[in-house]
Chain A
Amino acid sequence: MNETELILQLKSQDEKAIRFFVERYQQQVFTITLKFVFNSLDAEDLTQESFMDALSHINTYDEQASLTTWLYRITVNRCLMYIRAQKRKKRFAIIRSIFQTDEDEPIAIEDKQASAERDLMNLELSQQLKTAIERLPENQRMAFSLIYLSEFSYAEVAQILEVSVKAIESLLSRAKSKLRLELKEFSYENAG
C-alpha cells in the first residue's frame, strides 16, 4: 500500500489500513517515546496516545509533510505534554511538602536534595546522563534525544521540529555543553 492510498483509507477509518499504519510505525514511535521518557510503561502509553491523536486528526493532515514526519511530530508533541505534566507534579509535591505540618516529619526539601545528590554520585554514568537530560530545556532535550538517542538525521529532526538545520545545531551545541559539565562533575566526584 503506498502512502496516498494509506492516507485515503485512514481517512475513511478502514481497519486494515489502521492495522497496517500501526504495524509499520509503532517501533519507531515507541523508540522516540522511550528515548525521551526513559520509562517503558509511560512510553507505551505515549505511543498509544500518539497513534490515537494521528487517527483522530487524519482529516486535518494536509500532506505538506510526509505522513511519517507528521506522525513523528505528533509523537514529539505528546512527549512534550508528558514532561510538562511531570514538572507540574514535581512543583505540586514541593509545595505540598512546604505546607507539611507534621512535627515528626519536618520540612525536608533540603535534606531530600542533599540525599538525592549523594545518590546521584553513586549512579552509573547512563543514569547520570538521564538525569542531566531531564534537566535540559525542552527544545534542547528534544533535539538531543532525537539526534543522539533515536538517531535521526539533522535534516529529519529539522523537519519534525519545523526549524532550520542551523537551529538544530545550535540547540545541540548548547545541550552538549550542559551535559558535559554535569558529567564532568560526576566524574570528579567519583574519582574523589
Chain B
Amino acid sequence: MKTPDDLLKQAIDDLNSELNQVNTPDLTNRIISRARNQSNSNQSIITLKRFAIAAAILLSVLNGTVVWSTMSETNDQNQTSELETVYQNSSDWSTLLTLNEN
C-alpha cells in the first residue's frame, strides 16, 4: 500500500499530465479587439463629458448675462423713477445734477 505522500505525489503527477495536454488557445486577436472597443468607448465618454461641461458653462454664462441685463434694466428703471420723483418733487436743479452723476 502506498504512503499518503506517495499517493499525493502520484495524484499531482496525474493531474499535471492531464492538464498539460490542454493546448493554450490564441486569444491575442480577441483581446486586442476588446481593448480597441473599450478605448473607443472611453473616448466617447470623454467627449460626452466635455460636451456636458461646455454646455453647463455656456448655460451659466447665458444665465449670468440674462441676470446682469435684467439687473441693469432694473437699475436703469430705478434711476429713471428716482429722477422722475425728483422732477416731480424738487425744484432744486443741483439735486437733479447730483442724481444724474450717480
Question: Which residues from chain A sit less than 8 Å from chain B, CB to CB?
Answer: 13, 15, 18-19, 22-23, 26-27, 30-31, 34-35, 38, 40, 43-44, 47-48, 51-52, 55-56, 124-126, 128-130, 148-149, 176, 179-181, 183-184, 187, 191
Contact = CB atoms under 8 A, between A and B. Distances in A.
| Prevailing SS type, chain B contact patch | helix
B24 A183 contact: no
A129 B12 contact: yes
Contact of A13 (B1, B8, B12, B39): B39
17 contacts: A18-B32, A22-B31, A26-B26, A26-B27, A30-B27, A31-B24, A35-B19, A48-B27, A51-B31, A52-B38, A56-B38, A126-B14, A129-B15, A176-B8, A179-B8, A183-B7, A187-B1
A51 B27 contact: yes
Contacts of B36: 15
A125 B7 CA distance: 8
Interface string B8-35: 1011101110110010111110111011
Contacts of A27: 24
A13 B35 contact: yes
Given A126-B15, A187-B1, A22 B24 contact: no
Given A40-B22, A149-B16, A125 B32 contact: no
| Prevailing SS type, chain A contact patch | helix
Contacts of B10: 125
B25 A184 contact: no
Contacts of B16: 35, 148-149
A12 B25 CA distance: 27
Contacts of B25: 30, 40, 44
B10 to A, nearest CB: 6
B31 A187 contact: no
A51 B28 CA distance: 10
Nearest to B22: A40
Given A38-B19, A52-B35, A191-B1, A129 B11 contact: yes
B40 to A, nearest CB: 11
